[in-house]
Amino acid sequence: MSTDDDGVNTICPYCGVGCGLSLESGEAAGDVTIKPWFDAPVNEGALCVKGGASTEVVAHEDRLTSPLIREDGALREATWDEALEHVVDELERIRDTYGPDATGFFASSKVMNEENYLLQKLARRYGTNNVDNCTRMCHASTVYTLRNSLGAGAMTNSMADLRDHGDVLWIQGANPAEQHVIAHSHYFRQAARDGATLIQIDPHANKTTKDVDRHLQLEPGTDIPLLNVVLETILEEGRLDEAFVAERTRGIDHLKATLADFDAEAAAETCGVPLEDIREAARIYAEAGNAAIFTGMGMSQHRCGVDNVQNEVNLALLTGNIGRPGTGVNPLRGQNNVQGTCDVGAMPNVLPGYREVDDDEARSSVEDVWGFEIPSEPGLTNVEISNASGDSVHGLYVVGENPVMSEPDATEVETRLSDLEFLVVQDIFMTDTAEFADVVLPATSWAERGGTVTNTDRRVQLMRPATDVPGNTRHDLEILCEVGTRLFGDAAGFDFDGPEAVFEELTAVAPIYHGLSYERLGREGVQWPCYEPGDEGDQYLYAETFDTNDGRGVIRGVRHTEPAEGPDEEYPLVLTTARLEEHYNTGTMSTRSPTLRRRTPENFVDIHPEDAADRGIEDGDYVRLRSRRGEIVLKASVTEDIKAGSVWTTPHFSDARANTITNDVLDPLAKIPEYKAAAAAVERVEDG
């Protein structure tokens, strides 16, 4: 146990920044308080309001403390033996009746690398690649593009080198002041104080806007035409880095051909941003010594998410802004371990370390360690698993995820989950999804267990247990070991005596983690790739070459794809969504925190004053927000932060569930849903 300032050093359970904190424990299980960890590598003791309130849910009265089994339509308490036997019997029955691909497995970015590693191993031992995680909802398109065009599905650079060397920070579809608070306050705002220029591209004025030099407030879903104006300006005015393009990239001719008949004036009109403002931003980026792109879910969560991010890659490659400190294309990852959940192979198409599951050589090298055959066909993504539930999918094993809240068209998700023959949910609270479960397994919280998590800039860090396990709960790792051993036998490779032993096996099968060990991680952590023991890890990637087949970065021109649903007479507005500083994703933890709930107690929708006046809506009125998929009732916030014609809400609140009305259309390659644009209508609730 590593201690500092009389506490146990661990990592905040919320966002991907990966802030360190110190926990001091009292006598009772769950009695933990936070003290600063002053030399924590990422945050030097600072925490945002969410991290500071993170212990409030550890001993919450709603914690699940006993396994539950559904009987005669209701959940009743059960012993662990009874619950685990039921899980194993049902998984075996479904596999024997329909085959292994009739079951899906949802991993979780709220749990450790070791636990996600074990879950994907369990799925593959069971005989299916139907395993996925919530990156499908946030950055699947970013990961897809970065892997295919540069080499690794992760931030190219680090928060520290961006602060110290970035001259221009181009922030598109991201709101770090709200969603990655310490990254913004400690790194990006510091860069601005040191003279960097911050340019924001976002349909919604937000907390980040206060700190930027320029805000291009575009219409939702028009990022491609905006970036095409930027690229065309750079090409037309000869501001590209010709040597870099010639020596380190391929595809420039495709980009030029794509832009050959480009009408910049029409594109700017589509974006709703003056042409000269876009051109001026392009010049500032292109002329910078070091320019870095930050990309968020405003880019990734579109049916053209892959193309959106590709256009950011085009911009970085065209100007040579990649492969050195202060540059690159940098996704700000959502949850505290969403990067790690992908790294360890909890995705349907890749094995640990991002090696393709249909690559015979990669599969064979993992099979040598695991001792069983891995299915070679990529599996279904989580949205595809939900959509197939009741048809080709009959069983679902959910660890720490909440698809009834997190997936688009949520009412349809509820219907689909009801059609399953067997659903097991492993979590710390009774979630909206667990309400549909046949078995609920109570797991331990972040303060009660150890393991590793990987933050947004690829830093693998140790989490450490600070308090006892409450009630009749068990660690996710223990539960998965038990299920695996009961399903496949004692010698099947699920008999580990703790997270460190699992991590050792992970490092054997994931080349980017190969040089890591718990001892090596120590207090600072290590930024992957770390191929050999002794490697120090990399603050930034691609100094010499890209990890593509020919070592070149891929430029590929892209054209505008409109959102699948445009406004019409019946639904005249465009709905977009994003997270708040005070709450987190499906709100399972944050809405139970008294401090966070006090600050933002309920959901709301931002409406422009003109749209509000047209409908007789005043600030604070309750309104009905509708789409083709359903409706929710929530408070109106009348504000000029949003453009006329658009409305904006948050996904955190179960009683006004935004994903009831979002669109489930997917990007064809990354299969990420288009959360960021749906046709909607709003009206005042007369009796509200």
Among 182, 329, 404, 512, binds ligand SF4 (CB under 6 A): 182
Stretch that binds ligand SF4, among 97-105, 176-184, 372-380, 680-688 (CB under 6 A): 176-184
List the alpha helices (DSSP H) in 461-555.
476-488, 499-509, 518-521
Q: How many Å apart are CA 295 and CA 301, to the nearest integer? A: 11
Determine if the peptide bond prior to 529 is cis (ω within 30°): yes
Q: How many Å apart are CA 443 and CA 430, to the nearest integer? A: 11
Residue 665: CB minimum distance to ligand SF4, A: 30
At 642, list the tokens.
């949003």
Residue 48: CB minimum distance to ligand SF4, A: 3
Stretch that binds ligand SF4, among 40-48, 150-158, 310-318, 372-380 (CB under 6 A): 40-48
Which of 154, 31, 281 lies closest to 547 in space, CA to CA?
Answer: 154
Residue 21: CB minimum distance to ligand SF4, A: 7
Q: How many Å apart are CA 272 and CA 265, to the nearest integer? A: 11
Of 546 and 584, CB closest to ligand SF4: 584
250 close to 550: Cβ distance less than 8 angstroms: yes
Amino acid at 309: V
Instruction: Tell me if 37 contacts ligand SF4 by CB under 6 A.
Output: no
Residue 49: CB minimum distance to ligand SF4, A: 8
Residue 10: CB minimum distance to ligand SF4, A: 11
Binding track over 387-406 against ligand SF4, x by CB under 6 A: --------------------
Stretch that binds ligand SF4, among 43-51, 283-291, 541-549, 663-671 (CB under 6 A): 43-51
Q: Nearest-CB residue to ligand SF4?
A: 51
Instruction: Tell me if 50 contacts ligand SF4 by CB under 6 A.
Output: yes
Stretch that binds ligand SF4, among 14-22, 58-66, 632-640, 656-664 (CB under 6 A): 14-22
Residue 451: CB minimum distance to ligand SF4, A: 16
Of 95 and 180, CB closest to ligand SF4: 180
242 close to 317: Cβ distance less than 8 angstroms: no
Of 145 and 455, CB closest to ligand SF4: 455
Of 454 and 637, CB closest to ligand SF4: 454
Among 8, 17, 34, 140, binds ligand SF4 (CB under 6 A): 17
Residue 15: CB minimum distance to ligand SF4, A: 3
Q: How many Å apart are CA 394 and CA 483, to the nearest integer? A: 18
Of 141 and 455, CB closest to ligand SF4: 455
Among 4, 9, 10, 15, binds ligand SF4 (CB under 6 A): 15
Between strands 604-607 and 646-649, the pairing is antiparallel
Residue 590: CB minimum distance to ligand SF4, A: 9
Binding-site size for ligand SF4 (CB under 6 A) equals: 14
Of 386 and 586, CB closest to ligand SF4: 586
Residue 584: CB minimum distance to ligand SF4, A: 8
Report the chain's terminal Cα–Cα distance, integer Å. Answer: 53
Among 4, 7, 10, 14, binds ligand SF4 (CB under 6 A): 14
Q: How many Å apart are CA 641 and CA 550, to the nearest integer? A: 45
Of 406 and 585, CB closest to ligand SF4: 585
453 close to 112: Cβ distance less than 8 angstroms: yes
Q: 172-199 burial by CB neighbour count: b if 16+ within 10 A, else e?
A: bbbbbbbbbbbbbbbbbbebbeeebbbb
Stretch that binds ligand SF4, among 177-185, 318-326, 561-569, 672-680 (CB under 6 A): 177-185
Amino acid at 10: T
For 4, 188, 649, the CA distances from 181, given in Å and listed in that order, are 23, 10, 19
Residue 16: CB minimum distance to ligand SF4, A: 7
Beta strands in 265-421 (DSSP E): 291-295, 329-331, 350-351, 355-356, 395-399
Between strands 451-454 and 439-442, the pairing is unpaired
Neighbours of 687 (CB within 10 A): 4
Q: How many Å apart are CA 97 and CA 460, to the nearest integer? A: 41
Stretch that binds ligand SF4, among 106-114, 175-183, 366-374, 456-464 (CB under 6 A): 175-183
Residue 184: CB minimum distance to ligand SF4, A: 8
Q: How many Å apart are CA 443 and CA 119, to the nearest integer? A: 14
Stretch that binds ligand SF4, among 46-54, 82-90, 201-209, 640-648 (CB under 6 A): 46-54
Residue 188 per-residue DSSP state: I
Instruction: Tell me if 48 contacts ligand SF4 by CB under 6 A.
Output: yes
Residue 305: CB minimum distance to ligand SF4, A: 23
Residue 17: CB minimum distance to ligand SF4, A: 4
Among 4, 8, 9, 12, binds ligand SF4 (CB under 6 A): 12
Binding track over 128-167 against ligand SF4, x by CB under 6 A: ----------------------------------------
For 60, 140, 349, 501, 561, the CA distances from 507, given in Å and listed in that order, are 35, 23, 19, 10, 41
Crossing angle of helices 275-287 and 223-236, rounded to 10°: 60
User: Which residues ranging from 282 to 301 are in contact with ligand SF4 (CB under 6 A)?
Assistant: none
Q: How many Å apart are CA 672 and CA 143, to the nearest integer? A: 11
50 close to 584: Cβ distance less than 8 angstroms: yes
Among 19, 212, 313, 661, binds ligand SF4 (CB under 6 A): 19
Residues 6+ apart with CB under 8 A from 263: none
At 576, list the tokens.
């977009």
Among 8, 23, 32, 47, binds ligand SF4 (CB under 6 A): 47
Residue 34: CB minimum distance to ligand SF4, A: 10
Residue 653: CB minimum distance to ligand SF4, A: 18
At 469, list the tokens.
């396990």
357 close to 380: Cβ distance less than 8 angstroms: no
Stretch that binds ligand SF4, among 45-53, 105-113, 260-268, 612-620 (CB under 6 A): 45-53
At 436, list the tokens.
């549909």
Residue 477: CB minimum distance to ligand SF4, A: 22
Of 19 and 526, CB closest to ligand SF4: 19
676 close to 301: Cβ distance less than 8 angstroms: yes
380 close to 349: Cβ distance less than 8 angstroms: no
Of 447 and 479, CB closest to ligand SF4: 447
User: Which residues ranging from 478 to 537 are in contact with ligand SF4 (CB under 6 A)?
Assistant: none
Residues 6+ apart with CB under 8 A from 523: 2, 4, 9, 39, 41
Kindly list the residues in this chain that would bind ligand SF4 in the complex (CB under 6 A): 12, 14-15, 17-19, 43, 47-48, 50-51, 180-182
